[in-house]
């Protein structure tokens, strides 16, 4: 059984005071879910504050982005080594907002994934299709392209440390959610693709669902056999909602053993 991971992508939200309140709220409830990995992903400037607050807490810390290399003349960028030094264990790679708004292409996403692993971070590689791509029947080919480009550059062994997040672009921040069956179909195909490269990695890798996961739809999504957790945007900004999703994951684990 894969250990569920519930990750909160806080995107470009929060002030020092809000981060303080949100983290305290999450920490108060997190002890009730010892069998779940819980992760928060604040913006860069809040990482040190979060790391300090999370000392002695089971809640883990990650970042939303990194740049290549360890240090150098890259104004405005932050390296994986710096993130690890600031207390991060995980980093998001290839989130659809970075692919579409910041124009990160397949090569840069793959290079960032490799850089994360080299820095000792666990990358959460986000993949997913747009509405138009789904309607054109291209979901499988888009996701395969997004995965293969990373496997080719970083090698399949790098996925031992990794998590994959299936995030249909049309479901992110829209209130639309993939049905559990739609999610399961894509998750199973992702696992199969990884397994074709290395069977044990395919079996072990956690594949999160992301796209308007909320307390009221989390249980049905998390009940799918290849859905190993959630990458949560909007609902992660409210401690009660985020903890309710953790509870759904814990209940699902209890139900399936
Ligand atoms: C996300 O940003 O990764 C996400 C899934 O957002 P939301 O839950 O708001 O759709």
Which ligand 1 atom minimizes the distance to the CA of 230? 5
Which ligand 1 atom minimizes the distance to the CA of 172? 10
pLDDT at 232: 98
pLDDT in tens, the chain (257 residues): 799 999 999 999 999 999 999 999 999 999 999 999 999 999 999 999 999 999 999 999 999 999 999 999 999 999 999 999 999 999 999 999 999 999 999 999 999 999 999 999 999 999 999 999 999 999 999 999 999 999 999 999 999 999 999 999 999 989 889 999 999 999 999 999 999 999 999 999 999 999 999 999 999 999 999 999 999 999 999 999 999 999 999 999 999 86
What is the model's pTM? Answer: 0.98
Testing ligand 1's pocket by substitution, the residue of 173, 183, 235, 242 carrying the most ligand atoms inside 8 A of its CB is 173
What is the spatial distance between Cα 120 and Cα 111, in angstroms, rounded to a whole number? 14
What is the spatial distance between Cα 228 and Cα 141, in angstroms, rounded to a whole number? 22
Instruction: Report residues whose beta carbon is within 6 angstroms of any ligand 1 atom.
Output: 9, 167, 172-173, 210-213, 231-235
What is the spatial distance between Cα 51 and Cα 59, in angstroms, rounded to a whole number? 10
What is the spatial distance between Cα 217 and Cα 206, in angstroms, rounded to a whole number? 19
Which ligand 1 atom minimizes the distance to the CA of 174? 10
**How many whole angstroms from 71 Cα to the centroid of ligand 1?**
30
Query: For residue 198, what is the DSSP state?
Result: -
Residue 51, classified by CB atoms within 10 Å of its CB into exposed (0-12), middle (13-18) or buried (19+), is middle
244 φ/ψ angles, rounded to the nearest 5 degrees: -65, -35
**How many whole angstroms from 235 Cα to the centroid of ligand 1?**
8
Q: For residue 215, how many other CB atoms are within 10 A of its CB?
A: 17
pLDDT at 175: 87
pLDDT at 37: 98
What is the spatial distance between Cα 14 and Cα 44, in angstroms, rounded to a whole number? 11
**How many whole angstroms from 72 Cα to the centroid of ligand 1?**
32
Q: For residue 137, how many other CB atoms are within 10 A of its CB?
A: 8
**How many whole angstroms from 214 Cα to the centroid of ligand 1?**
10
Q: Which of 195, 255, 175, 191 is nearest to 227 (CA)?
A: 191
Which active-site residues does the annotation give?
A: 95, 167
Token couple for 56: 């002695």
What is the spatial distance between Cα 144 and Cα 44, in angstroms, rounded to a whole number? 30
């Amino acid at each position: 059984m894969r250990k569920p991971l519930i990750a909160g992508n806080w995107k470009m939200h929060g002030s020092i005071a809000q981060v303080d309140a949100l983290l305290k709220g999450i920490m108060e409830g997190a002890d009730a879910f010892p069998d779940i990995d819980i992760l928060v992903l604040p913006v860069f400037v809040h990482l040190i504050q979060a790391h300090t607050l999370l000392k002695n807490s089971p809640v883990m810390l990650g970042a939303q982005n990194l740049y290549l290399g360890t240090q150098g003349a890259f104004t405005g960028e932050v390296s994986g080594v710096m993130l690890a030094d600031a207390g991060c264990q995980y980093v998001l790679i290839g989130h659809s907002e970075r692919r579409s708004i910041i124009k990160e292409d397949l090569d840069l996403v793959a290079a960032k994934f490799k850089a994360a692993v080299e820095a000792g971070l666990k990358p959460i590689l986000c993949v997913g299709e747009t509405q138009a791509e789904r309607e054109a029947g291209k979901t499988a080919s888009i996701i395969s392209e997004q995965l293969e480009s990373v496997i080719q550059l970083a090698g399949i062994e790098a996925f031992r440390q990794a998590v994959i997040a299936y995030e249909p672009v049309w479901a992110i921040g829209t209130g639309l959610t993939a049905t559990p069956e739609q999610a399961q179909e894509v998750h199973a195909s992702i696992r199969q693709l990884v397994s074709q490269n290395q069977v044990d990695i395919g079996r072990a890798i956690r594949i999160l669902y992301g796209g308007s996961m909320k307390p009221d739809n989390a249980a049905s999504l998390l009940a799918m056999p290849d859905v190993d957790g959630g990458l949560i945007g909007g609902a992660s900004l409210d401690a009660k909602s985020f903890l309710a999703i953790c509870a759904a994951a814990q209940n699902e684990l209890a139900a399936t053993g």
